[in-house]
């Protein structure tokens, strides 16, 4: 559970996780095994189509939840089940405690339910004098340790067999060794007698099917079957997000959920309970069944045009499985009760701003979670939106406020950058790096060297060197982004060189400014909107066939976020749509549009590997073009492990969480060095800044370049 | 449309992937022989994995002590078939029961059942068990042996959806998809079988 009061305390907690080598190794191994397992489980399936169908049916269920609840209740009651509605967690817990009292229950066995975690049900039941035992092995372990889950599907993933062995020694009062097979059997026998004694069983529900009034439960251990069979009273606690219109909707989700959660094709058990079943422990041989349907902020969420998509979550935990930040720090630090990307969002709505305010900043915006989500939820966007809302409520911290102010004023911003060039003179080295870190950086930032501001920004170079292209094939506008404009103009120049040689007429609208992603990342939505409006007025989309940018982050921000940012201004929105439609990244343009040929480049055969920027591979779904271009440019492409995993730059993220950024970079560079390549290519200047700076610190000889530089360099 | 044989092949492949033990049989008598043989071969208490000598808390120990003889549970079996099984079991020195599962919560050695359908897609058995005795037999047995008529194999869950709905609407109903043995990966993500339910799932595919 997340306890830090401010960012400083939170960062201290993060350090504890980073120092926990067991946790780090487990999560690393899992992340790698998961990716292969998932891919295998989805082989030959239309995953996108399936996810899209789930999103549609869940959206419809969300819009219709009141009617579905009525239908569900009617059918369940007709089948002899009692149905209760709870507006918040306290009420749900009260209802359940009262059922226990009314039915004279004393001992409760529980099968895993995230919803019960959310309402802190166990505390309330224990306060009411009831004995509660979790029966899911992982849940039982953390219950005995008085901890919260650290993963939605594998709640005890943070613990070693030795820790569990010691724990079981305490529980049984006799020494247990730490062999997993044996520990599992000890749990089996210890828990079996808990089932025998219990008079009430509590489960969650994965599905509440309106057309039948029944529920569906997905488990591997089979504990939900015992919990719902042996005791004479069964209570199922579920959020209104579990309501589905039809059984078919549920069967469809089952196709994705286990595959996405652990790479299993299906779990060992899927249990469908409809109506008051036979129970030989009850007086009349009928089980007493209660469904407690929980709102707790969900109906508010459903009314929100942006956040209603949260209802699509099926709690598979995949968004944590792929999150590079979760992989570093684990669930106790990457969420409050719900963990991972969805945890950052749900924490805000279910547990409040104070619990969420530090957590939401810990997202690097790599979009891995969005890419994998079973419900197709745009998680990174929602996380940023919550960050913005919290800033609105709490006031803006000085650095992000200032950055917002500066970026809104292009001239001021550019003047500052030009001044910085003079300011850095005393510490600038000839090799393009700053010798000492400026005072504003603490030593935690020393994991990478920082580049100097270029002698001549691209915009100045352009005004003197803009090429004339006769009989052009096509007409494009260039969008440089600030890093290439002021730090790495040579990347833009390389592109200009190749474009001119291929009959591309270019324009560089001089009033363009920073794309605005950095302020958006800091939650400064107002500033982000202003910057978007400025850039939109600087470009006339109708005048060009394409608008090209060499920065993956800019490209994805311009393409996907601009239309959303100006949504409330109809005339601007039209322009933004036209603008977004023309945006293309460098690699796609050169490979797919210009279709350059191997024959146009000197074939050196030098080994080069590749880093896929998050905003290119996931943000724009571009995968083949850059890799093909590496080969076209005359180099030999060697694949790097975890090529599409974030390098840890994340713009302002690396300023705020240097320790996390450093770790992500370390992994990336270890993988890069293991390829034995001489050159590392990528297509985002932010990534280049991170990778170059890190390799420089390591004293590595590997050259880092934008793909544009490789092509221009080898051009015959 | 996949042929009957394709479905069968797929079912076996998928079931074996999750460590189910699949055997072909040509008639029901073979199934009974299989169950008796298996019970005979089986160690008295599979929980031996942790060593019955391993100490547990007093209460958990006490529950284990309630079990004296090897037990085969076969609730819901056709009368004549159950009679034959009970005879065979008696000869071999095992107890055979078709009710009273609640007196055997320490565990029975073998639960013997018939599946309603098989789902080829994932190697899944579908068992409808509104009857508590039958349900418990599939949960507290150490080995679950289940007969699946070959003609009852369907491609995927959508093809049993209609039938599921019919049953669910005629409540009460308790229906299960069972795929492989009970499993967990909760400690260090290492797969361990039989955490609460059966340690082994044996599927006997009946040629019909
Ligand atoms: S965008 Fe990346 S860092 Fe942020 S929550 Fe999703 S996976 Fe994690
Ligand atoms: S947000 Fe998506 S990926 Fe995360 S748990 Fe929910 S459904 Fe799964």
B53 touches chain A (CB under 8 A): no
Q: Looking at residue A311, what is its pLDDT?
A: 97
The interface residues of chain A toward chain B in range 12-51, judged by CB-CB distance below 8 A, are 26, 29-30, 33
Do B54 and A251 count as a contact with CB atoms less than 8 A apart?
no
Q: Looking at residue B65, what is its pLDDT?
A: 64
Tell me the Cα Rg of chain B. 17
CA distance A327 to B117: 41
Considering every ligand atom shown, identify the ligand nearest to the alpha carbon of residue A259 and give its number.
2
Contact at 8 Å (CB) between A708 and A497? no
Contact at 8 Å (CB) between A327 and A666? no
Mean predicted confidence (pLDDT) in A675-690: 96
Q: How confident is the model at residue B64 (pLDDT cuts 50, 70, 90)?
A: low
Q: Of A46-55, A567-576, A647-656, B150-159, which gets the smallest average pLDDT?
A: A647-656
Q: Looking at residue B49, what is its pLDDT?
A: 46
Answer yes or no: is pLDDT of A340 > 80: yes
CA distance A474 to A489: 23
Give me the residue from A195, A212, A221 closest to B182, CB to CB: A221
- Spatial CB neighbours of A174, under 8 Å, sequence gap ≥ 6: B54, B55, B56
Q: Looking at residue B60, what is its pLDDT?
A: 67
Q: Looking at residue A612, what is its pLDDT?
A: 97
User: How do residues B115-149 score in pLDDT, each as one tens digit?
Assistant: 999 999 999 999 999 999 999 999 999 999 999 99
Give me the residue from A30, A229, A265 closest to B136, CB to CB: A229
Answer yes or no: is pLDDT of A272 > 80: yes
Residue closest via CA to ligand 2's atom 4 equals: A319
Query: Strand runs (DSSP E) across A1-55, as ranges?
Result: none
Q: Looking at residue B51, what is its pLDDT?
A: 47
Q: Which of A47, A149, A318 to mutate to test the pocket of ligand 2 (most atoms within 8 A of CB)?
A: A318
A250 touches chain B (CB under 8 A): no
User: How do residues A373-382 score in pLDDT, each as one tens digit?
Assistant: 999 999 999 9
Contact at 8 Å (CB) between A405 and A508? no
Contacts of A234 in chain B (CB under 8 A): none
Give me the residue from B55, B107, B132 closest to A278, CB to CB: B132
**A247 CB burial (10 A radius; 0-12, 13-18, 19+):** buried
Q: Which of A151, A256, A342 to mutate to test the pocket of ligand 2 (most atoms within 8 A of CB)?
A: A342
- What is the Cα B86 distance to its own chain's centre? 17
| Residue A189 or residue A610, greater confidence | A610
Contact at 8 Å (CB) between A625 and A680? no
Query: What percent of chain A stands above pLDDT 70?
Result: 99
Return the exposure string of A360-375: e unless at least 16 CB atoms fall within 10 Å of the residue's CB, then b.
Answer: bbbbbbbbbbbbbbbb
Q: Looking at residue A36, what is its pLDDT?
A: 93
Q: In angstroms, what is the span from residue A256 Cα to ligand 2's centroid?
A: 11
Q: Looking at residue A474, what is its pLDDT?
A: 95
pTM of the shown model: 0.91
Answer yes or no: is pLDDT of B35 > 80: yes
A162 touches chain B (CB under 8 A): no
Helix (H, G, I), strand (E, B) or coil at A65: helix
Kindly write down the DSSP assignment for every residue of A232-277, as one continuous string. SEEEEEEEGGGEES-HHHHHHHHHHHHHHHHS-SS-SEEEEEESS-
- To the nearest whole angstrom, how far is the Cα of B189 from the nearest Cα of chain A? 7
Q: How confident is the model at residue A410 (pLDDT cuts 50, 70, 90)?
A: confident
User: How do residues B37-51 score in pLDDT, each as one tens digit?
Assistant: 999 998 766 554 444
Query: What percent of chain A stands above pLDDT 90?
Result: 81
Mean predicted confidence (pLDDT) in A42-71: 96
Contacts of A138 in chain B (CB under 8 A): 184, 186-187
Q: Phi and psi dihedrals of A25, rounded to 5?
A: -65, -45
Q: Looking at residue A337, what is its pLDDT?
A: 92
B44 touches chain A (CB under 8 A): no
A276 touches chain B (CB under 8 A): yes
Closest of A475, A530, A483, A543 to residue A689, by C-alpha: A483
Minimum-distance ligand 1 atom for the alpha carbon of A364: 3
Answer yes or no: is pLDDT of A444 > 90: no
Residue B26: CB atoms within 10 A of its CB come to 10
Do B139 and A229 count as a contact with CB atoms less than 8 A apart?
yes
Helix (H, G, I), strand (E, B) or coil at A44: coil
Mean predicted confidence (pLDDT) in A586-601: 96
Q: Which residues pair with B25 in a beta bridge?
A: B206
Q: Looking at residue B102, what is its pLDDT?
A: 93
Q: How confident is the model at residue A338 (pLDDT cuts 50, 70, 90)?
A: very high
Q: Looking at residue A436, what is its pLDDT?
A: 67
C-alpha torsion sign, points A560, A60, A95, A104? negative
Helix (H, G, I), strand (E, B) or coil at A128: coil
- To the nearest whole angstrom, how far is the Cα of B168 from the nearest Cα of chain A? 6
Mean predicted confidence (pLDDT) in A594-601: 95
Q: How confident is the model at residue A349 (pLDDT cuts 50, 70, 90)?
A: very high
Cis? peptide before B73, omega within 30° of 0: no
- To the nearest whole angstrom, how far is the Cα of B59 from the nearest Cα of chain A? 7
Query: Which of B127, B164, B188 should one mutate to test binding to chain A, selecting the residue with the greatest count of A CBs within 10 A?
Result: B188
Q: Looking at residue A245, what is its pLDDT?
A: 98
User: How do residues B147-206 score in pLDDT, each as one tens digit?
Assistant: 999 999 999 999 999 999 999 999 899 999 999 999 999 999 999 998 999 999 999 999
Q: Which residue has the tokens 């796609």?
A: A588
Q: Looking at residue B48, what is its pLDDT?
A: 47
Contact at 8 Å (CB) between A187 and A226? no
Q: Looking at residue A441, what is its pLDDT?
A: 63
Is any atom of ligand 2 closer than 6 Å to the C-beta of A617?
Answer: no
Minimum-distance ligand 2 atom for the alpha carbon of A340: 4
- What is the Cα A160 distance to its own chain's centre? 26
Token reading at B176: 């299960």
Q: How confident is the model at residue A405 (pLDDT cuts 50, 70, 90)?
A: confident
User: How do residues B2-25 score in pLDDT, each as one tens digit?
Assistant: 788 999 999 999 999 999 999 999
Mean predicted confidence (pLDDT) in A600-625: 95
User: How do residues A103-141 score in pLDDT, each as one tens digit?
Assistant: 999 999 999 899 999 999 999 999 999 999 999 999 999
Q: What is the mean pLDDT of chain A?
A: 93
Q: Looking at residue A398, what is its pLDDT?
A: 76
Contacts of B179 in chain A (CB under 8 A): 265-269
Tell me the Cα Rg of chain A. 28
Beta strands at A214-219 and A269-274: parallel, antiparallel or unpaired = antiparallel
Q: Which residues pair with B173 in a beta bridge?
A: A274
Give me the residue from B172, B178, B181 closest to A79, CB to CB: B172
Taking CA A686 as the corner, what is the angle to CA A685 and CA A688, rounded to the nearest 5 degrees? 60
C-alpha torsion sign, points A88, A90, A92, A95? negative
Q: Looking at residue A394, what is its pLDDT?
A: 84
Question: ipTM of the predicted structure?
Answer: 0.93
A-B CB pairs within 8 A amount to: 218
Mean predicted confidence (pLDDT) in A614-642: 96
Q: How confident is the model at residue A460 (pLDDT cuts 50, 70, 90)?
A: very high
């Amino acid at each position: 559970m997340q306890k830090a009061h401010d960012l400083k305390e939170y960062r201290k907690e993060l350090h504890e996780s980073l120092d926990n080598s067991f946790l780090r190794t487990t999560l690393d191994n899992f992340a790698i095994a998961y990716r292969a397992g998932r891919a295998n489980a989805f082989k030959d399936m239309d995953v996108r189509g399936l996810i899209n169908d789930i999103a549609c049916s869940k959206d419809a269920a969300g819009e219709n939840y009141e009617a579905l609840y009525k239908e569900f209740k009617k059918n369940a009651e007709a089948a002899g089940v009692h149905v209760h509605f709870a507006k918040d967690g306290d009420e749900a817990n009260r209802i359940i405690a009262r059922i226990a009292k009314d039915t004279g229950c004393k001992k409760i066995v529980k099968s895993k339910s995230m919803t019960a975690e959310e309402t802190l049900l166990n505390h309330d039941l224990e306060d009411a004098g009831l004995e509660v035992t979790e029966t899911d092995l992982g849940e039982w372990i953390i219950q005995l340790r008085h901890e919260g889950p650290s993963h939605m599907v594998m709640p005890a993933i943070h613990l070693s067999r030795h820790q569990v062995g010691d724990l079981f020694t305490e529980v049984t009062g006799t020494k247990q060794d730490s062999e997993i097979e044996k520990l599992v059997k000890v749990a089996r026998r210890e828990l079996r007698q808990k089932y025998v004694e219990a008079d009430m069983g509590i489960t969650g529900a994965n599905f509440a099917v309106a057309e039948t009034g029944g529920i569906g439960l997905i488990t591997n251990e089979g504990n939900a079957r015992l919990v719902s069979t042996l005791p004479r009273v069964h209570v199922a606690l579920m959020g209104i997000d579990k309501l589905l219109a039809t059984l078919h909707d549920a069967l469809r989700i089952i196709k994705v959920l286990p595959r996405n959660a652990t790479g299993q094709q299906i779990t060992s058990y899927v249990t469908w309970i409809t109506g008051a079943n036979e129970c030989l422990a009850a007086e009349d041989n009928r089980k007493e069944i209660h469904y407690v349907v929980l709102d707790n902020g969900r109906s508010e969420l459903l009314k929100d045009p942006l956040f209603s998509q949260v209802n699509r979550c099926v709690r598979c935990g995949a968004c944590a499985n792929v999150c590079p930040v979760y992989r570093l720090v684990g669930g106790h630090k990457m969420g409050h009760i719900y963990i991972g990307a969805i945890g950052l969002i749900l924490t805000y709505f279910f547990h409040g701003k104070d619990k969420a305010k530090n957590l939401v900043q810990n997202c690097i915006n790599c979009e891995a979670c969005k890419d994998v989500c079973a419900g197709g939820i745009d998680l990174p966007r929602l996380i940023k939106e919550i960050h913005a809302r919290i800033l609105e409520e709490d006031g803006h911290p000085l650095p992000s406020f200032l950055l917002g102010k500066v970026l809104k004023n292009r001239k001021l911003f550019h003047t500052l950058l030009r001044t910085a060039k003079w300011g850095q003179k005393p510490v600038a080295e000839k090799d393009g790096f700053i010798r000492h870190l400026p005072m504003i950086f603490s030593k935690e930032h020393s994991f990478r060297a920082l580049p100097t501001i270029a002698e001549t920004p691209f915009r100045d170079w352009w005004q003197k060197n803009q090429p004339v292209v006769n009989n052009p094939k096509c007409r494009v506008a260039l969008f440089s982004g600030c890093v290439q404009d002021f730090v790495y103009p040579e990347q833009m120049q390389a592109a200009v060189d190749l474009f001119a040689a291929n009959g591309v007429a270019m324009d560089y609208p001089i009033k363009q400014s920073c794309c605005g992603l950095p302020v958006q990342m800091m939650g400064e939505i107002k500033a982000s909107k202003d910057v978007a409006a400025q850039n939109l007025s600087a470009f006339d989309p109708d005048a060009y066939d394409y608008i090209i940018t060499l920065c993956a982050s800019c490209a994805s921000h311009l393409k996907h976020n601009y239309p959303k940012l100006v949504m409330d201004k109809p005339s601007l929105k039209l322009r933004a749509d036209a603008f977004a439609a023309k945006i293309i990244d460098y690699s796609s343009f050169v490979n797919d549009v210009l279709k350059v040929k191997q024959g146009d480049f000197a074939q050196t055969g030098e080994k080069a590997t590749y880093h896929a920027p998050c905003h290119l591979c996931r943000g724009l779904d571009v995968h083949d073009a850059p890799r093909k271009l590496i080969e076209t440019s005359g180099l030999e492409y060697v694949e790097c492990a975890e090529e599409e995993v974030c390098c840890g730059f994340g713009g302002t993220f690396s300023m705020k969480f240097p320790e996390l950024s450093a770790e992500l970079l370390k992994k990336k560079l270890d993988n890069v060095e293991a390829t034995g390549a001489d050159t590392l290519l990528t297509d985002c200047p932010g990534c280049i800044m991170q990778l170059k700076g890190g390799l420089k610190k390591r004293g590595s000889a590997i050259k880092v370049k934008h793909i544009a530089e490789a092509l221009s360099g080898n051009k015959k | 449309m996949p042929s009957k044989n394709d479905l069968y092949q797929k079912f076996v492949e998928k079931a074996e992937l999750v460590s189910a033990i699949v055997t072909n049989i040509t008639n029901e008598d073979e199934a009974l022989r299989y169950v008796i043989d298996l019970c005979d071969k089986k160690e008295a208490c599979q929980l031996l994995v942790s060593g019955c000598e391993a100490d547990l808390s007093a209460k958990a120990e006490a529950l284990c002590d309630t079990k004296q003889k090897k037990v085969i549970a076969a609730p819901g079996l056709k009368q004549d078939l159950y009679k034959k099984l009970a005879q065979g079991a008696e000869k071999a020195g095992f107890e055979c029961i078709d009710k009273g599962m609640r007196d055997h919560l320490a565990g029975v050695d073998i639960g013997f059942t018939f599946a309603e359908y098989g789902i080829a897609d994932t190697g899944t058995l579908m068992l409808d068990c509104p009857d508590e005795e039958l349900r418990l037999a599939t949960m507290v047995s150490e080995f679950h042996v289940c007969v699946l008529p070959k003609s009852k194999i369907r491609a995927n869950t959508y093809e049993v959806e209609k039938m599921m709905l019919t049953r669910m609407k005629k409540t009460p109903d308790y229906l299960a998809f069972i795929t492989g043995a009970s499993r967990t990966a909760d400690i260090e993500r290492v797969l361990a079988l039989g955490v609460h339910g059966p340690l082994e799932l044996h599927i006997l595919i009946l040629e019909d």
